[in-house]
């Protein structure tokens, strides 16, 4: 069985086993001893240990992978004057897809009206975290201490430092070529580490999902079925519809190839609910399975994992309409436009803030005059939806990377069409040649 199929099988098994454990622990016929053994030793013992080690191991690779990939990519583009256009295209596509996502969410939620028959019965509360001022966010993008940025995992600061470092390498002559060779060797080693971690993925995915579903079960979904299904439907339409249209018409490529090659990435994203933790797998897939040149993928994928939040924007759009309907507030067309603009711009402005999805939702609600406490109504199912919207986010990262690479001539269609591309030796993938000074 291929690694991708093993990961998908472990994901399905984790959901089923976790749901079964939840039913057993909540069954009146089960003894307290059984519940204690399952809860203390299995769920919060073995499964929690394996899952946390797996996520920590993935996060271990994020900083070195982003650093070496961006340095290699920017050093190869340093003399070509294409760094600026690639950055502008990437940022433009990310903002455009986010705006499309929140607009789609608002339109479908308005038609479905998931909150029109919901009673205010939830005792859950949500206290919004104060977002940082915009000027502080902009200043914080530029690192005062690159080593502090690396140790703290501050992605935006790492991106800025790596781009500057790579550009300097390309203009440093012979010393630059020696350093560039070192970082290309480092990239091969880090990619090998990613491959080793992927072999352990089925066990980590199974442990994470079994623990989650054993604790939550399906009751949380049933309580907010209309809201949950609306968000889920819009996420699927955006991931399989909007991205497919963009890929077909802007790059002339088959969406089915993308879908087949993203399956393992989706399993990682779904189980970890973190674009950052999934970043090593996304970058490996985009480069080695999809044929995107490292000079493009090394920039677009880390940036996308940091600022591209189409899935979160969809949640915010549906949640805004849902909360407005629950509280009986009619939103004007101006309010809808405000939601689109706020959710789109907030995807960059709050990129480095923990709990970004709910923080930006609080900002959106305040902008249109809705009570922030309404977030408490949807917290119960947000964890499950977060897993799906993370899968949407990484799909957006890969789609934009392919489109930008195709437009820049940094794309290998033979790799794209090869179903076994990831099985080829590392020296057969597209390599970045160091330009002469």
Residues 306-333 have pLDDT tens digits of 788 888 889 888 989 888 888 888 888 8
Fold of the domain spanning 3-427: 1.10.3860
C-alpha 62, offset from chain centre:
13
| Token duo for residue 28 | 């009146």
Confirm if 390 and 311 have CB atoms less than 8 A apart. Answer: yes
pLDDT band for 361, please (50, 70, 90 cuts). Answer: confident
252: CB partners within 8 A, 6+ apart? 406
Low-confidence winner among 22-36, 56-70, 222-236 (lowest mean pLDDT): 22-36
Q: How far apart are CA 367 and CA 351, in angstroms?
A: 19
pLDDT band for 120, please (50, 70, 90 cuts). Answer: low
The per-residue pLDDT for 132 is: 63
Low-confidence winner among 171-175, 291-295, 375-379, 395-399 (lowest mean pLDDT): 375-379
101: CB partners within 8 A, 6+ apart? 234, 238, 242, 310, 311, 313, 314, 317
Low-confidence winner among 28-32, 175-179, 286-290 (lowest mean pLDDT): 28-32
pLDDT tops 70 at residue 291: yes
The per-residue pLDDT for 402 is: 94
The DSSP call for residue 39 is I
Sketch the domain layout of the chain as residue ranges. 3-427
pLDDT tops 50 at residue 353: no
Q: Would the pTM count as exceeding 0.85? A: no
The DSSP call for residue 31 is -
pLDDT tops 50 at residue 424: no
pLDDT tops 90 at residue 219: no
The per-residue pLDDT for 242 is: 94
Average pLDDT over residues 215-237: 79
The per-residue pLDDT for 428 is: 41
The residues facing 292 across adjacent strands are 411
Low-confidence winner among 12-21, 117-126, 207-216, 400-409 (lowest mean pLDDT): 117-126
pLDDT band for 380, please (50, 70, 90 cuts). Answer: low
Burial 275-314 (b: 16+ CB within 10 A, else e): bbbbbbbbbbbbbbbbbbbbbbbbbbbbbbbbbbbbbbbb
């Amino acid at each position: 069985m291929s690694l991708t199929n093993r990961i998908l099988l472990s994901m399905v098994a984790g959901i089923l086993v976790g749901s079964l454990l939840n039913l057993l622990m909540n069954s009146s016929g089960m003894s307290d001893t059984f519940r204690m053994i399952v809860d203390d030793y299995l769920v919060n013992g073995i499964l929690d240990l394996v899952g946390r080690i797996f996520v920590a191991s993935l996060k271990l690779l994020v900083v070195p992978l982003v650093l070496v990939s961006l340095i290699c990519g920017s050093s190869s583009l340093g003399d070509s004057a294409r760094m600026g256009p690639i950055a502008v295209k990437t940022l433009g596509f990310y903002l455009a897809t986010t705006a499309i996502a929140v607009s789609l969410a608002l339109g479908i939620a308005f038609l479905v009206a998931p909150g029109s028959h919901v009673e205010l019965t939830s005792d859950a509360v949500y206290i919004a975290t104060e977002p940082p001022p915009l000027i502080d966010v902009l200043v914080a993008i530029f690192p005062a201490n690159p080593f502090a940025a690396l140790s703290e995992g501050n992605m935006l600061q790492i991106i800025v430092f790596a781009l500057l470092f790579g550009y300097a390498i390309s203009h440093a002559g012979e010393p630059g070529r020696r350093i560039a060779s070192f970082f290309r060797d480092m990239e091969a080693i880090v990619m090998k580490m990613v491959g080793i971690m992927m072999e352990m993925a089925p066990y980590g995915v199974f442990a994470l999902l079994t623990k989650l579903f054993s604790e939550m079960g399906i009751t949380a979904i049933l309580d907010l079925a209309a809201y949950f299904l609306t968000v889920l439907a819009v996420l699927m339409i955006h991931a399989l519809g909007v991205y497919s249209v963009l890929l077909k018409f802007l790059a002339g490529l088959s969406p089915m190839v993308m879908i087949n090659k993203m399956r393992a990435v989706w399993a990682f994203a779904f189980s970890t609910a973190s674009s950052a933790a999934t970043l090593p797998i996304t970058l490996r897939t985009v480069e080695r399975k999809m044929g995107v040149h490292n000079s493009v993928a090394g920039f677009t994928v880390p940036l996308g994992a940091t600022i591209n939040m189409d899935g979160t924007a969809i949640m915010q759009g549906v949640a805004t309409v849902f909360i407005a309907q629950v509280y009986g507030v009619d939103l004007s067309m101006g309010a809808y436009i405000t939601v689109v603009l706020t959710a789109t711009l907030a995807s960059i402005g709050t990129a480095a803030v923990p709990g970004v999805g709910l923080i930006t939702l609080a900002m959106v609600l305040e902008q249109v005059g809705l009570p922030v406490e309404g977030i408490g109504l949807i917290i119960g199912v947000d964890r499950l939806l977060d897993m799906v919207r993370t899968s949407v986010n990484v799909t957006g990262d890969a789609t934009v990377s392919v489109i930008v690479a195709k437009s820049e001539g940094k794309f290998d269609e033979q790799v794209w069409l090869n179903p076994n591309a990831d099985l080829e030796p590392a020296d057969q993938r597209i390599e970045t040649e160091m330009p002469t000074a």
